[in-house]
Amino acid sequence: MSDLFNRNTRKYILRSMGFLLFSVGLTASAVAKHGKPNILFILTDDQSYSAMGAAGNTVLETPNIDRLAQQGTQITHAFNQGSWSPAVCAPSRAMINTGRNLYSTGITDGTLKLQKKTSYPLWGETFKQAGYETFLTGKWHVSKEALLRSFDLGTAIHEGGMTYDQYNASMVDLDRETHQLSAVYPSKKHSSEIIADAAVGYLEKKPDINDKPFLMYVGFLAPHDARQSPQSYVDKYPQDAIPLPKAFKKQNSVDQGDFWVRDEVLLDIPRKPDEVKQFIGEYYAMIDHMDTQIGRILDSLEKSPYAENTIIIFTSDHGLAVGKHGLLGKQNQYDHSIRAPFIIAGKGIDKGQKIKGNIYLNSIFPTTAELAGIEVPNTVQASSFMPLLRKEKDSMNEFIYGAYRHYQRMVRSDNFKLIYYPVIGQTQLFDLKNDPDELHNLSAKPAYRKQLASLQDELLKLMADLDDPIDLDHPVISFESVGYSTDIWRKGV
């Protein structure tokens, strides 16, 4: 296996990425006629792509997310690209806000700060400079400096990492006039409710303050644990009403590295079916409650002067296992953890449509800039996915890359997925068409040697393209040499 992945074979020419701006169908003239569109960005935390009714989930009730899907286009295959940290949300948000790739955001696991030497233009900062008012509520988890550069004002901002008490989350406000953050205060109500309060309050007050177009960044803490929600929602998802996932296992068959990270010790190992079913029910209750709060925001937008000229994007920072493959968290390369729900709606966006897409979340920055007629900074590495919305393509990437620390590397096509574990030298190959739950490892079967070799080559190409620093033959040393931690995590987020 090491011969196939010898670093000396990685002599590939980087693929060029085009950033030529196109107008929207939704054209530049349409922007001029109707004014720049407002952007409402709703980001959840730890919500798997299948955790909504619009994705075919018949147990979980998400009527407001579902109506948004009916009002717009659902991209079924959206990926976060990976993580250099057990806190997968941190690099995900860094990629979203810089439009750059996993190892190129200027953020590392040691500091979680944008360094001056790599202080790339940020999404909110770029919109501010183009005349937008930028507003933040909810989870940020990039850096204070990046927050202040990105937003004009904000209410109920969870600036740091993650709270473990949804009813007593730490919040700060960003004052419009002084541009200073307030002292930290407790939410004193469920985080999803105070975040929705802030978003609704902004929409209601803004018409009396200015007529600037806006970028609203609404970052829910849900459904990240602690899994707390009102009892009426918990009661909707009793243990005996929750089916075990098809991919349920008592324990994962592969040592993926961070097997004792905090996410994975929320339940005993090996997993007990009844405990997993209760765990899923609590996860669903939290999403259902959050969906109600999202409905409040959508209702407020519909009543506002901005209803006809606002683009809405709904997604999550990554997915979550919640009992599949014997796992609970997101520190793995199975689809339940690397894919996120994704919906875009608004003027000019087809209604009730589904597109495969194969996009990365860092495409949000250039796509919204194109929608707003704003020049994309040349530091942005991601491509706009407007060709999907213009029906020029149904997929932006033939192959998708994924990584988790020095432990895992992944490449997938529409048909097959390869996961390689450099530290233990183990490989998994899945036939995604016939085995979408990724249960049957085909890597040792002679009939699949061609597919295995092809994906190994594609993985090396993507690693070169995305400046992945790891040497697959020497994963620990190579990862440490560029400043990333290889410590074994037995705690974390």
Express each pLDDT in 177-235 by its tens digit.
999 999 999 999 999 999 999 999 999 999 999 999 999 999 999 999 999 999 999 99
Q: Which of 339, 358, 389 is the last residue of a domain?
A: 389
Q: Are 222 and 44 in contact (CB under 8 A)?
A: yes
Distance of CA 397 to the CA centre of its chain: 17
Burial group, residue 16, by CB count within 10 angstroms (0-12, 13-18, 19+): exposed
Band (20; pLDDT cuts 50, 70, 90) = very low
**Sheet harboring 78-79: ordered strands across?**
339-340, 78-79, 359-360
Which of 330, 354, 389 is the last residue before a domain boundary?
389
Bridge partners of residue 42, in order along the sequence? 218, 314
d(CA 465, CA 15): 6
In this structure, the answer to whether residues 383 and 414 fall within a common structural domain is no
Single residue among 354, 389, 424 that ends a domain in this structure: 389
DSSP 492: -
Enter the tokens of residue 131: 């005349």
Contact 347/341 with Cβ under 8 angstroms? no
Q: What proportion of the chain, given as a percentage, has pLDDT over 90?
A: 85
- Compute the mean pLDDT over every residue in the chain, rounded to the nearest whole number: 91
| Same-domain status, 339 and 409 | no
Q: Are both 70 and 199 inside the same structural domain?
A: yes
CA distance 200 to 210: 16
> In CATH, what number is assigned to the domain containing residue 380?
3.40.720.10
pTM: 0.92
Candidate from 9-18, 78-87, 367-376, 389-398 with smallest mean pLDDT: 9-18
* Residue 116 and residue 159 share a domain: yes
Residue 441 belongs to domain spanning? 400-481
How many C-beta neighbours within 10 Å does residue 487 have?
11
**Residue 2: is it exposed, middle or buried by C-beta count within 10 angstroms (0-12/13-18/19+)?**
exposed
Q: How many domains does the chain have?
A: 2
468 in the same domain as 362: no
Structure tokens given for 255: 């040592």
- Is 163 within a domain? yes
Same domain, 346 and 417: no
